[in-house]
Amino acid sequence: MTDKAELETIEAEFARAIADAMDEQTLDAVRVAALGKKGRISEMMKGLGKMSPDERRDMGPLLNGLKERIGEALTARKDALQEAALSVRLASEKIDVTLPLRETALEAGRIHPLSQVWDEVVAIFADMGFAVENGPDIETDHYNFTALNFPEGHPAREMHDTFYFDPKADGSRALLRTHTSPVQVRTMEQGKPPFRFICPGRTYRSDSDQTHTPQFHQIEGLVIDETTHMGHLKWTLEEFLAAFFEVDGVELRMRPSYFPFTEPSMEVDVRCARLGNEIRIGEGDDWLEILGCGMVHPNVLKAVGLDPDKYQGFAFGIGLDRIAMLKYGIPDLRAFFEADLRWLKHYGFAALDVPTLAGGLTS
């Protein structure tokens, strides 16, 4: 037999258990213990049937009231727990929209100065109507030397510090091309004049110091038709150098030189000013050697089956690494190949700054 005082104790016990429940699972256990099928309050409700009508009249409302208040307390606590859980979750998932965005790989990455200069040179010559041609890095003696009018045993061959592969059974030796000039021969063999193209590419020589690396880069240029002469050569180089160094004009000086595949052959200097480590192209009283060029030798034309009495033109060769160092003030060529990220961050270019003549090569 339950009395009023006992009901108050039970209510106080459940009220405390509800208040103490720190998560929904614990709270549900309290609900089951109070109002579940075999819960304390449910059992007492079942006992009403066995009571006398008088007792039932007293206990009925008391028990119903208790059931209702505990039910309400459970609901209120459940709401509070859910709200608290939501606040914790919201706090943990908070996004500070005022934080700057993290750089994407595209923004953080850098284009190597050599790739940049390669693209700049292609953009300039493409604007002048030059095509871009390619050839293999592994060459034969024929394309690297013989077809370019290097006679057998001529000292010019020795000067190239060639990397040779082991001789084949027939005694021939493949080599790593020492210059991009073999692409002249290969391209002329494949096509018909007129020719007007450049070939940027990798080249190799057994040489290493501050301004030489065993692998380096050149751009070959070739124009062959029936009328091209040295005046065109000079104009082309002036236009190229002014555009490349982004100055209004350059002054060139041509010195007689020797290359087996050109006659006459020239080395070209550009007027510059030296201010400490800095070199300014197009001003001052100094001269800087910048490239080699000449009128294509009749023997080279003959080697590709062209009649030298009908066809003529010019060729030039530029050291890509060298002009990159000059333009961007890079003192040591070897750093190009060291893959040092700090160096690349300093000298590299943003990925989307694609050089175009209209947009400015490097702006």
- Contact residues toward ligand DAH (CB under 6 A) are 179, 181, 220, 259, 262, 292-294, 315-317
Q: Minimum CB separation from ligand DAH for residue 321, in Å?
A: 12
Give 201 or 294: the residue with its C-beta nearer to ligand DAH: 294
> Which DSSP string corresponds to 202-220?
EEE-S--BTTB-SEEEEEE
Half-sphere CA count of 270, side-chain side, radius 13 A: 26
Q: Which long-range contacts (CB under 8 A, 24 or more apart) does 285-292 make?
A: 287/253, 288/326, 290/241, 290/318, 290/322, 290/323, 290/326, 291/237, 291/267, 291/316, 291/317, 291/318, 291/319, 292/257, 292/259, 292/265, 292/266, 292/267, 292/268, 292/316, 292/317
Q: Residue with CB nearest ligand DAH?
A: 317
To ligand DAH, the closest distance from the beta carbon of 107 in angstroms equals 38
Nearer to ligand DAH, 293 or 324 (CB): 293
- Tell the smallest beta-carbon distance from residue 159 to ligand DAH (Å): 9
Tell me how far apart the alpha carbons of residues 363 and 359 are, in angstroms, rounded to a whole number. 7
| Two tokens, residue 336 | 């190009």
Min CB(205)–ligand DAH separation in Å: 9
Q: Which CB sits closer to ligand DAH, 26 or 257? A: 257
**What own/partner pairs with CB < 8 Å and gap ≥ 24 does 49-56 have?**
55/1
Element (H, E) at 244: helix 230-245
Question: Cβ distance 312 to 295 under 8 Å?
Answer: yes
The three-state secondary structure class of 264 is: strand
Cβ closest to ligand DAH, residue 77 vs residue 217: 217
Nearer Cβ to ligand DAH (145/349): 145
In whole angstroms, the minimum distance from the beta carbon of 331 to ligand DAH comes to 23
Nearer to ligand DAH, 213 or 262 (CB): 262
**Closest CB 100 distance from ligand DAH, rounded Å:** 48
Classify the phi-psi angles of 351: left when phi > 0, otherwise alpha if psi is within -120 to 50, otherwise beta. Answer: alpha
Q: Minimal CA–CA distance to 359: which of 242, 243, 221? A: 243
Give me the least distance between CB of 332 and ligand DAH, in Å please: 21
C-beta of 135 vs 294, nearer to ligand DAH: 294
